[in-house]
Amino acid sequence: KAGVTQTPRYLIKTRGQQVTLSCSPISGHRSVSWYQQTPGQGLQFLFEYFSETQRNKGNFPGRFSGRQFSNSRSEMNVSTLELGDSALYLCASSQVARDWTGELFFGEGSRLTVL
């Protein structure tokens, strides 16, 4: 079974631009979560999508948005990039059944550098 796939793996943008990151979850997983990882803050929760609906949202400005498609693939978008948005963006998928134990399966991440 293929793992979580994130594209692109690396990208460089300049301030003010926007970026779209993609995540394909493990087949059969309907929940996709996004995290921002920085050295000083660790992993911070961005949002979670389940069956094309945003179920949870972290404390990030509205410049950060996401969506999920009917095949469970998800995208996140960051508009008007700032230097502080430089980070590793991690996507994680999970099955989310009645007996969900909370285990997340992570992709390798998309490393965004904002110049």
Partner 1 sequence: AQTVTQSQPEMSVQEAETVTLSCTYDTSESDYYLFWYKQPPSRQMILVIRQEAYKQQNATENRFSVNFQKAAKSFSLKISDSQLGDAAMYFCAYNRDDKIIFGKGTRLHILP
Residue numbers at the binding site for partner 1 (CB under 8 A): 3-4, 33, 35, 40-45, 48, 55-56, 58, 90, 92, 101-104, 106-108
CB of 4 to partner 1, least distance (A): 8
CB of 3 to partner 1, least distance (A): 7
Q: Least distance to partner 1 from the beta carbon of 16, Å?
A: 29
Residues 6+ apart with CB under 8 A from 105: 3, 4, 25, 26, 29, 92, 93, 94
When the beta carbons of 46 and 114 are compared against partner 1, the nearer one is 46
- Other beta carbons within 10 Å of 57: 13
| Beta carbon nearer to partner 1, 36 or 114 | 36
Contact 68, 74 (CB under 8 A): yes
